[in-house]
Structure formats: structure tokens, C-alpha cells
Amino acid sequence: MTHPVKNGNIGQYYIKFNHFLARFFIFDRVFREFAETSVRIESGDCLVAENLPALKCDWERNFHSFNYFIQSEIPAVPSRDYQDFQESVYQILKDYANAQRQLINAIDDEAERIHHDQVQLAEGKIRECKSRINDALQQIVTVSFG
């Protein structure tokens, strides 16, 4: 059974937004893999060619792509009813990006070490951002189908 949507344009927005979210989750997975690799490098459980300065460089490159993604590829809102949702998601993604920046900055590539206290703070903020995204998605479902 299909559920009626209050505004036909909203259905297209959902499709685009779901695609956007799928890409966000890909970035998130890549960032988690960078974090896991940094731990393996620090413990010595890595390939000979892997090192923290090179990892940080690759992480930075992906981070710049992520910033472009959140600034230019978030779908346009088809209705004023969803403006608050859009602004909320955008702010959450900016907060997520700031937490990722803190995580990257926790790598001291000159000393080839990781500042674990910074990592714990950044990872906590990242978890909080993902929880806030989930909460925002729950609210949009209620608005549309409630």
C-alpha cells in the first residue's frame, strides 16, 4: 500500500535526499576506514608503505571532497514546510565536518603520532551528529506522512 504525500514535489525531494544520504554514508564509511587505518599504523599492524603523513594527506583530500559535497549537492527544498528540516540537516553536516576536521587534526604527522584525547572528543561529536541526523529524519517522516 502506498502512502499519500502532501506535496507531489516532496516525493522527488525524498528520492534526491535519499541519494544524498547514501553518498553521505559512503563518505562516513571512508572516514571510519581512515580512522581504523590510523590506529593500525600507530600500532605497527600495517603495510610498510602506510604511514600517518600519507594517510592524513589522503584523508584531507577526501575531506575537501566532502565539504564540496555538503555545500553544493544538498537537494533543493520544494516547499517552505521543509525549510527548517533542510537548515537543520545542513547545520548537522557542518558540525559533522568540523568534527571530522578535529579528527584529522588529531594526527600529528610531524611526530607521527595520534592525540587520542582529541580523537575521543571528535568521535563523540561525530556520533552525536549521526544521532541528530536520525532525529531529523524521524521528524521529516512525521511531517510528510503524519
Tens-place pLDDT, residues 48-92? 889 999 999 999 999 999 999 999 998 888 778 788 888 999 999
Q: What is the pLDDT of residue 142?
A: 61
Interaxial angle between packed helices 83-105 and 52-72, expressed in degrees from 0 to 180 and rounded to the nearest 10: 170
- Beta strands 113-114 and 107-108 are antiparallel
Domain range enclosing 141: 8-145
Residue 63 lies in a domain: yes
Residue 13 lies in a domain: yes
How confident is residue 26, by pLDDT bands cut at 50, 70 and 90?
very high
pTM above 0.75, yes or no: yes
Residue 25 lies in a domain: yes
Cβ atoms of 81 and 7 within 8 Å: the answer is: yes
Higher pLDDT residue, 143 or 79? 79
Closest CA to 66 of 30, 39, 118: 30
Mean pLDDT of 40-44: 91
Say which DSSP state 75 is in.
Answer: P
Highest mean pLDDT among 9-23, 55-69, 132-146: 55-69
Q: What is the pLDDT of residue 117?
A: 96
pLDDT at 23 over 50: yes
Residue 14 lies in a domain: yes
C-alpha cell at position 63: 575531506
Cβ atoms of 108 and 116 within 8 Å: the answer is: no
Residue 1 lies in a domain: no
Q: What is the pLDDT of residues 88-112, one digit of tens each?
A: 999 999 999 999 999 999 999 887 8
Cβ atoms of 79 and 55 within 8 Å: the answer is: no
Lowest mean pLDDT among 9-13, 68-72, 131-135, 136-140: 9-13
Residue 30 lies in a domain: yes
Q: What is the pLDDT of residue 146?
A: 47
Count of CB atoms within 10 A of residue 60's CB? 14
Residue 2 lies in a domain: no
Residue 3 lies in a domain: no
Total domain count, the chain: 1
